[in-house]
Amino acid sequence: MNSKRPRTIQIFLPTGDPSGIRIAEQTTSIIRLIEVPRSDIADFLKMDESKQVGLYFLISGDSKDELYIGQSGEVGSRLMQHHKDGKKDWERALVLISLTNNLTQTHVLYLESLSIEKAKACQRFELLNGNNGQKPHTPIPLKADCDEIHEVGGLLLATLGYPIFEPLTEQVSSETEQVFFCNRAGSDAKGIYTNEGMVVLKGSSAPMVTKRKTEQRFYDKRDELLNKGVIVKDGDRFVFQRDYLFQTPSGASMFLLLATSNGWVDWKTDKGMTLHDHQGRTIEVADAQI
């Protein structure tokens, strides 16, 4: 997102089930995002919002990291088509509509193209779209509206747990973000610790096999990212082709070492300070300023 500022988001559970349909809104916006589990399509079709023009996102994959972006003049009917044809393996749909029902086909065509472009740039999800959408001629006032809708929609998506348009890291610089290194057992990796986990940076590498005692699950995860093109084999090493988020520092270091690891110790600054000690120092400084 372009701007970080305090917001108020409301999440409504129409059935009272937190794993069922969820409706998210920013209190000062007319944009509404509806999360629809595939098992609840029938309930969504009963809602007035299903008859509207809308933008939608289909989430799939074992790790919920596969994404298809589409648009429709009647979004409920389009989701039902996706459900019936069986061509797309998806589990949850996220539907973006207007509370005032004023989105047009031009709006959603532009938003579809913009969303595909932004999702590709952020690289958080494996995008299943075969093309870049159709970006129609868009008058400047309408484009400005769409850009605002996209910003609010991205915020609502992230709030519900789908940060499709959130960069993995801010612009990397020595002044704004601390880079950590994992150099054990032949690894040559750089990472940035964020509030979501450890982002291993593009170009990081490690041996394809380990001599340490290990388990098959580590190789399974390696092969999964090889198949997705996140890493590629380069001789007897694998190399990251893009930045990639692991939910924990230890998850990142275990992937690199192909064995058990304490990431709070194995990730270090260029001065040799462990992630654990660096975070402790940061907390001490913040506490002293209170």
10 Å CB burial of residue 215 (0-12, 13-18, 19+) is: exposed
Task: Specify the number of domains making up the chain.
Answer: 2
Q: Residue 4: inside a domain, yes or no? A: no
Counting residues of the chain whose pLDDT is more than 70, the rounded percentage is 93
Domain that holds residue 240: 179-288
Number of neighbours of residue 230 by Cβ within 10 angstroms = 20
On whether both 272 and 201 belong to a single domain, the answer is yes
On whether both 125 and 29 belong to a single domain, the answer is yes
Q: Residue 166: inside a domain, yes or no? A: no
Q: Indicate left, alpha or beta for 101 from its phi (over 0: left) and psi (-120 to 50: alpha).
A: left
pLDDT one-digit tens code per residue, 45-97 = 999 999 999 999 999 977 788 999 999 999 999 999 999 987 678 999 999 99
Q: Residue 195: inside a domain, yes or no? A: yes
Reported as a pLDDT band with limits 50, 70 and 90, residue 2 is: very low
Q: Residue 237: inside a domain, yes or no? A: yes
Strand partners, 238: 206, 233
On whether both 118 and 149 belong to a single domain, the answer is yes
On whether both 205 and 143 belong to a single domain, the answer is no
pTM to 2 decimal places: 0.81
Q: Would you call 9 helix, strand, or coil by DSSP?
A: strand
Residue type, 61: G
Q: Residue 165: inside a domain, yes or no? A: no
